[in-house]
Amino acid sequence: MGFEDLRPWTWRGVQALDSRGRARISGQTSIRPYWRCYYSNTAAVVFVIDSTDTERLETAAGELRAMLDEEELRDAALLVFANKQDQPGAKGAGEISESLRLAELKDRNWSIMACSAIDGSGVSEGMDWLVQTVGENS
């Protein structure tokens, strides 16, 4: 399955498919309870972390854990983007991985990629991993 197989859908006025064909759901607190409405048939989760916002890492770890504990996501691959690596004080992918306790995910394909949405570094590499991983499991 490739990005061309994704179909756009709109929820609460939010376009959930970006210009490159990638599905996207916001992480706002008010929207999180609705995430589970879209878990069915999910092949992968892309979780983007603001690597400069250390105060919310514990919350992010809890939300990620709760999401991955859902039965419908048990086989979904996980790609974590440690974003804002272009900013001073950004935690590296290793530190983010430790904060999220990713090493505890024993029965799941996962990867973490340091990236910058501003300059694009790391984004293609992460998406390449995701496409390859999802393709192998289809």
Catalytic residue positions, numbered: 28
Helix intervals (H) in the chain: 57-68, 93-100, 123-137
From the annotation, which residues make up the binding site for GTP? 27, 83-86
Strand 110-114, strand 10-11: pairing = unpaired
From the annotation, which residues make up the binding site? 27, 83-86
b or e along 65-102 (b: 16 or more beta carbons within 10 Å of the residue's beta carbon)? eebbeeeebeebbbbbbbbbbeeeebbebeebbebbeb
